């Protein structure tokens, strides 16, 4: 998976103009960005990471992810938006995401 080629975690609620932007011109910039994102993800619970990984990054359906994680589809559909909110909070805290005033 290439950096910058993953699906949007924030869907339509946050557009491009709402996010901070960093130019990634070198390999080192890309590594720093990936490490920053990895740090934010590591601050989430194991369940949050599993759901985000399966559904957002690996593009499993909620039903498929529920089977793999061992949860009901209803539980996934309830918990996934909360996991995205927690990741958004971590990105805001790290300065990787900025909401304009």
Domain ranges of the chain: 16-94
CB-neighbour burial class of residue 76 (10 A; exposed 0-12, middle 13-18, buried 19+): buried
Is the pLDDT confidence value at 100 over 80? no
Query: From residue 98, how far is each of 52, 63, 101 by CA, in Å?
Result: 21, 32, 9
Q: Which pLDDT tens digit goes with each residue over 39-93? A: 999 999 999 999 999 999 899 999 999 999 999 999 999 999 999 999 999 988 8
For range 25-34, the mean pLDDT: 83
Fold of 16-94: Arc Repressor Mutant, subunit A (1.10.10)
Would you state the pLDDT for residue 21? 58
Would you state the pLDDT for residue 22? 61
Nearest to 96 by CA among 21, 5, 31, 30: 21
CB atoms under 10 Å from CB of 28, counted, come to 9
Q: What are phi and psi of 82, to 5 degrees?
A: -70, -35
Would you state the pLDDT for residue 80? 95
Contact 60, 54 (CB under 8 A): yes
3-class SS of residue 61 = coil
* Six-digit token string for 53: 């990984």
Would you state the pLDDT for residue 13? 44
98 falls in which pLDDT band (50, 70, 90)? confident
């Amino acid at each position: 998976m290439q950096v910058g080629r993953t699906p949007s975690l924030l869907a339509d609620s946050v557009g491009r103009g709402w996010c901070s932007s960093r130019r990634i011109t070198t390999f080192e910039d890309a590594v720093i960005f990936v490490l920053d994102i990895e740090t934010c993800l590591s601050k989430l619970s194991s369940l949050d990471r599993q759901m985000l990984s399966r559904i957002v990054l690996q593009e499993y359906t909620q039903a498929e992810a529920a089977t793999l994680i061992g949860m009901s589809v209803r539980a996934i559909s309830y918990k996934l938006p909360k996991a995205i909110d927690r990741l958004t909070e971590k990105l805001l805290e790290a300065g990787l995401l900025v909401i304009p005033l």
